[in-house]
Structure formats: C-alpha cells, structure tokens
C-alpha cells in the first residue's frame, strides 16, 4: 500500500502552476548566462523595458508558487522522512534569495539603464547590478536543487539535485546554454513529477 503523503492538494497545485509560470518567464527572458557581460541585457532593457519588467514580475510569482508549494510538500513529508524538513527550509531560503535577485533586476537595473545617457557612471552601475542579480539567481538555485537531493527520498531525485548543483557551478566558470538547460531540467522535472504524485494521491484517497 502506498504511503500517505499528507501533502495538501493545493500545495501540489501551487508547485505545478508555479513551475509552468517559471518555464514561461524563462522562455521570455533573453539568454543571459555570463554575469560579466551585460551588453545584451542592457540593450534589451533599453529597447523592451516593459517586457523585461513584466517578465521578472512573472518570474517572482512563479518562484513563490513553485518553491512555496515544494516547501509545504517537503514539510508534510518530513513527518516520516526527517531530511524533508531540511529540504523545506532550503526551499524557503531559495525563495528569499530569488526575490532579492529579482528585486535587483526588476527595480534597480532598469533605473540605471534609463540614466546611462545622462550620467557618466550609470553604465557601470547597470552592469554591476546585472552581475549581482544574475549571480544571486545562480546561487539561489543551489539550495533549491539541494532541497530536491535531500527531500526526494529517491536515487533519481538525489542524483538530479546533485547534477543541478554541478551545472550551476560549471556555468559560473564556463557558461554553456545546453549544459545549464540539461542539468537544470532533471531536478526541475522531478519537482513537477513529485507535485503530480502528491496531487494524484490526494485525488484517489478522498
């Protein structure tokens, strides 16, 4: 008999909805992998500021729903698997780091870009804000993938979480899009399947 997860169906719904929003926001975002090369995002903001702002606002909503749902799910599963409590805490930590990064890119960066023509050092400030925001976004994914590794309770989940962390570290030194996409897709996919399992179990055990 399958173990009862005890995870509320609405928490699973948060995770699935948030994951879809994060995927959409990522697709709308310009491909920026290297924190030390800010020309593309600065040009993108100058030309399509509205898209940049809405994209990052959408990402913030998606992150809160996706990782918030996971934190609740891990917290409930911690009743029978103590490591899941640590995974829940790591998910909340990731949310806090993500919201800080997105605040930089949503608030400070567009303002700095707007002032590049008027102020001598605005371009340097914009590049610095972008580097800080992107680096913090990378660092924010480390506790998220560590949460998957610890809270999954499966070999696949643990390996995918570890691979996700390795992909982040690799990208910091050698930003290659397909490497980051592949190493992130596996633990991201695990979170979707976990939420679907929580949701399906609740439906069949009403």
| Nearest residue to 54 via CA among 32, 29, 20 | 29
Indicate left, alpha or beta for 6 from its phi (over 0: left) and psi (-120 to 50: alpha): left
Say whether pLDDT at 118 is over 70: no
Q: How far is 83 from 153, CA to CA, in rounded Å?
A: 8
106 secondary structure, DSSP code: I
Say whether pLDDT at 131 is over 60: yes
Say whether pLDDT at 116 is over 90: no
Largest CA distance in the chain: 68
Q: How far is 130 from 110, CA to CA, in rounded Å?
A: 10
Contact 141, 164 (CB under 8 A): yes
At 19-78, the pLDDT tens digits run 999 999 999 888 888 888 888 888 888 888 889 999 999 999 999 999 999 999 998 876
Say whether pLDDT at 113 is over 90: no
Q: How far is 93 from 122, CA to CA, in rounded Å?
A: 31
So where are the chain's domains? Answer: 9-204
Contact 129, 104 (CB under 8 A): yes
Identify which of 37-41, 64-68, 102-106, 117-121 has the greatest average pLDDT: 64-68
pLDDT of residue 142: 97
Q: Which residue has the higher pLDDT, 152 or 142?
A: 142
| Nearest residue to 181 via CA among 52, 15, 11, 23 | 23
pTM of the model: 0.88
Q: 104: which residues sit within 8 A by CB, 6+ positions away?
A: 129, 132, 133, 136
């Amino acid at each position: 008999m399958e173990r009862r997860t005890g995870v509320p169906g609405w928490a699973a719904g948060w995770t699935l909805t948030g994951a879809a929003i994060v995927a959409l926001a990522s697709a709308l975002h310009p491909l920026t992998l290297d924190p030390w090369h800010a020309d593309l995002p600065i040009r993108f903001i100058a030309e399509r500021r509205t898209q940049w702002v809405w994209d990052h606002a959408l990402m913030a909503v998606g992150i809160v729903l996706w990782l918030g749902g996971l934190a609740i799910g891990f917290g409930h599963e911690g009743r029978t698997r103590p490591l899941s409590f640590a995974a829940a805490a790591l998910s909340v930590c990731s949310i806090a780091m993500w919201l800080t990064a997105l605040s930089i890119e949503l608030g400070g960066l567009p303002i700095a870009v707007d002032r590049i023509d008027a102020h001598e050092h605005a371009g340097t400030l914009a590049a610095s804000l972008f580097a800080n925001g992107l680096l913090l976004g990378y660092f924010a994914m480390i506790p998220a993938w560590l949460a998957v590794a610890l809270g999954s309770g499966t070999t696949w989940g643990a390996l995918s979480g570890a691979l996700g962390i390795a992909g982040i570290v690799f990208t910091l030194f050698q930003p290659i899009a397909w490497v980051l996409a592949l190493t992130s897709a596996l633990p991201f996919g695990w979170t979707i399947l976990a939420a679907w399992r929580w949701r399906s179990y609740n439906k069949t055990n009403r």
